[in-house]
Amino acid sequence: MRPIRLLFAAGLAISAVAVGLASASATEQIVGGSRASIADHQYVVFLSTPDGFQFCGGTLVADNKVVTAAHCTIRKAPGDVRVVAGREDKTSAEGITSAVTDIWIHPDYTDVRVGSDVSVLTLDQRLPYTPLGLPDANDATLYAARTPATILGWGRTAVDGQSSQYLLKASVPLVADADCVNSYSDYDAKAMVCAGLPDGGIDTCQGDSGGPLVVNGRLAGLTSWGVGCAAPGNPGVYTRLGTYVDLVRSRL
């Protein structure tokens, strides 16, 4: 090999290492996201067990009400759940931990793939954080395909990885109903909305469930289910909150 070709080969090897490092750091984040400030997203909360294990996300929608996924709270008693608000770093003591005095679960909820994956928690105190607005009932503009949506949570940063110590966020485009039904035969456009890139790479994952999908500053969806995380052709599936918002409002 002539020196010029050796140099070229060495350059390729160095770029390959650089790309490898870049993609490794890109996955240290939701999947494919980046650090988010709790001050900028005061409505994002996490659900923990009484001994502090974070298992789901949620959204403050009134000073003492949190919307989350039914699959996060089903078969749990209020005493099994704590709501942690104002804490970006799970390992810190910042923010406020609330007890739960009531758990409402959509009466039709059975399984994430059937829909109605929505639950409302009543807290034992009123929190000093800015809640997120609910969508208007059946606001179709909120669910137009390709609209950018923000996902937030402390869940896994890779499908078989660890959950995140810090609050992470990412932006994903909403997927057309006609495309999502091709990914998932159980997709129901009345109950759900999908978000993700055709090639994957950015997604919610285990532990993000119940957390917010924010569109135009409203709580458009709740992290619900999907096959794997961030895989091509398998977008994340979110509870379509517009369908359930009248029922949710009646619980506030």
Q: Which residues are marked as active site?
A: 71, 117, 209
Site for ligand 4AZ in 73-112 (CB under 6 A): none
Asked if 100 contacts 82 with a C-beta cutoff of 8 angstroms, the reply is yes
Considering the complex, state which of residue 60 and residue 194 has its C-beta at the smaller distance from ligand 4AZ: 194
66 beta partners: 60, 121
- Tell me the site size for ligand 4AZ, rule CB under 6 A: 11
209 lies in the binding site for ligand 4AZ (CB under 6 A): yes
29 lies in the binding site for ligand 4AZ (CB under 6 A): no
- Rounded CA-CA distance 161/131 in Å is 30
Asked if 122 contacts 65 with a C-beta cutoff of 8 angstroms, the reply is yes
How many CB atoms are located within 10 Å of the residue 108 CB? 14
Site for ligand 4AZ in 210-239 (CB under 6 A): 223, 225-226, 229, 236
243 lies in the binding site for ligand 4AZ (CB under 6 A): no
Q: Minimum distance from CB of 108 to ligand 4AZ (Å)?
A: 20
At position 97, the amino acid (one-letter code) is T
Considering the complex, state which of residue 95 and residue 236 has its C-beta at the smaller distance from ligand 4AZ: 236
Q: Which residue in the shown chain puts its C-beta closest to ligand 4AZ?
A: 226
Site for ligand 4AZ in 147-186 (CB under 6 A): none
Beta strands in the chain (DSSP E): 34-35, 44-48, 54-62, 65-68, 82-85, 96-105, 119-123, 148-153, 168-175, 192-195, 212-215, 218-225, 236-240
Q: Which of 88, 117, 177, 203 binds ligand 4AZ (CB under 6 A)?
A: 203
205 lies in the binding site for ligand 4AZ (CB under 6 A): yes
- Rounded CA-CA distance 222/237 in Å is 9
Residues that bind ligand 4AZ (CB under 6 A): 203-206, 208-209, 223, 225-226, 229, 236
